[in-house]
Structure 1
């Protein structure tokens, strides 16, 4: 019973968050802004949206291709189409429960390639760690390059330099306290976290030890490059966003990527975050909102279509097994 309740909560809580953000965003828009958003959808150049989705497919392909290096390192030779289709299904499943696609991906590979679930899931955990490190690199570059803009925004919100310094010092103190607790505490929750972290460390060392680690790392960067280009190409779909600078693109990409984890596939959160970041650079709210919904809708439709097609093809292509 508790498991069922927990399962439903993991679906409903992100969903309600997304719906709540949509409601808030809608109620803060004026009738004129809503009308402008509708016009933006009508006059958008969908050639660039299609090109963006094509780049996304290349990213899907690269993710599936990268996976084979980790699986080969563990001694498993899998068919590429099975890798690709399971990746596509995982994107679809992630639209229901955030990050649940990783579990379905490992389960499907177990079913169609007989790779043990724990082994497959371990390679996926390693992927997520590498992806997270690369994303942090994007965040670092973005915030360093936009420090002045972010600082001016904080000043406009009456956030003083003194309060930032105090917050920073408090953060450093809390970090050292956490390190001391981590090293010396024998609390059950800390011991459980240490056990889980050891698995993550093992995942990283797997990447380091594999034969084709440089190819693996290349595809890791290529995947994120394709994500960035997918976002960049989409800005040309609207005349109002077609001339924005690349630094704005990077910031929009960073906050859009962060928003995906707040609700089911970024429902509501993605368009809201894009509109918010774009507004910092003087882009009207209706334009930022229109672009956010255009990008999110197209990416979501692609994930649903590829996921459903892959789900149908997997048993058909493996029916002789």
Structure 2
């Protein structure tokens, strides 16, 4: 299968999942419910989206600065503007092809700052691992501080389905999976031993070393406290952007800290599971807001407003970055 065909299939599958989720939510809406969603869109205070978007820009800038802290132990110090542009190009690519954005931003920065791309991929993996830990901590805190509200939702909608999925797998299926994994590892080991001196094997080993060096850069940082500060600042800005978004609708303007914490956590999961978060993000935001007494149609409209604001921001900054990168790096 060619790379172009594989990329096209990825786009179709992930976009199809998002569109399927949208259809599943909207297919049974009554005429009144559809009218309620339209009313929510008509009455929204869209001018309040602007400060939320400015906060979003700040979060992307801080992410670029944090990435520089991971790159510095490798012996390189890229310009902050180029790093920021690379981050935005990566987000833009992710809207079209899931997970390709992370590789794309490494390629962009490697091109304009002359840094080995394999090492940048390693720093990107380390960065994503830190974000995953932060999201996990956020979810745990969200459940613990409001166990009566969110705990039941987390248990019935996430934990129990996962348990059921593993329970249905059965011992035989798990054994077959383990055997297949062991065979795959042994096959890769055999091929590397058999063709250890081949050009392809040497290239793969060099790539693996570069990626590993990038991952380990997180332990070589001299200013680990500064890295932690930027990590916390990124998530604080995400929280502030969402909290500001509550004021775009009168029905959500009274929601406080706990609701924002829950929407941030569950909404982040929605952004991960489908292409650009389309479909999943709106549903998870809707279901979360229902826990706080917000009508389902209003919650769905609010999810779309948030998603559209974030997506528009990424598209504008991404395309601007593509234009400005060659202009500002003529030399």
> TM-score, normalized by length of structure 2?
0.83
Distance of 2:251 and 2:267 partners within structure 1: 19
Q: Which runs of 5+ in 2 are unaligned?
A: 189-204
Q: Secondary structure at the match of 2:308?
A: helix
Is 1:137 paired with 2:134? no
Query: How far does residue 260 in structure 1 lie from its aligned partner after superposition?
Result: 1.0
Q: How does 1:15-164 map to 2 (within 5 A)?
A: 15-150=15-150, 152=152
Is 1:206 paired with 2:202? no
Query: How far does residue 155 in structure 1 lie from its aligned partner after superposition?
Result: 9.5
Distance of 1:167 and 1:74 partners within structure 2: 44
Distance of 2:86 and 2:260 partners within structure 1: 30
Distance of 2:88 and 2:186 partners within structure 1: 35
The CA RMSD over aligned residues, in Å, is 3.2
Deviation track 1:134-169 (CA, whole Å, cap 9, x = no partner) reads 111101101222322245558999xxxxx89x9799
Distance of 1:168 and 1:15 partners within structure 2: 24
Corresponding residue for 2:327? 316
List structure 1 segments (4+ residues) > 6 angstroms apart after TM superposition: 154-157, 166-171, 195-202
Query: How far does residue 281 in structure 1 lie from its aligned partner after superposition?
Result: 2.8
Q: Secondary structure at the match of 1:283?
A: coil
Is 1:270 paired with 2:270? no
Q: Is the 8 A contact 2:60 2:84 kept in 1?
A: yes
Q: Which runs of 5+ in 1 are unaligned?
A: 158-162
Query: How far does residue 92 in structure 1 lie from its aligned partner after superposition?
Result: 0.7
Distance of 1:278 and 1:59 partners within structure 2: 24
How many pairs are equivalent? Answer: 307
Distance of 2:183 and 2:220 partners within structure 1: 33
> TM-score, normalized by length of structure 1?
0.85
Q: Is the 8 A contact 2:270 2:281 kept in 1?
A: yes
Distance of 1:70 and 1:153 partners within structure 2: 37
Aligned counterpart in structure 2 of residue 188 of structure 1, from 184, 187, 206: 184
Corresponding residue for 2:259? 248
Q: Secondary structure at the match of 2:96?
A: coil
Deviation track 1:220-259 (CA, whole Å, cap 9, x = no partner) reads 1111111111111101110100112321221111111101
Distance of 1:20 and 1:319 partners within structure 2: 44
Query: How far does residue 306 in structure 1 lie from its aligned partner after superposition?
Result: 0.3
Query: How far does residue 282 in structure 1 lie from its aligned partner after superposition?
Result: 2.4
Query: How far does residue 199 in structure 1 lie from its aligned partner after superposition?
Result: 9.1
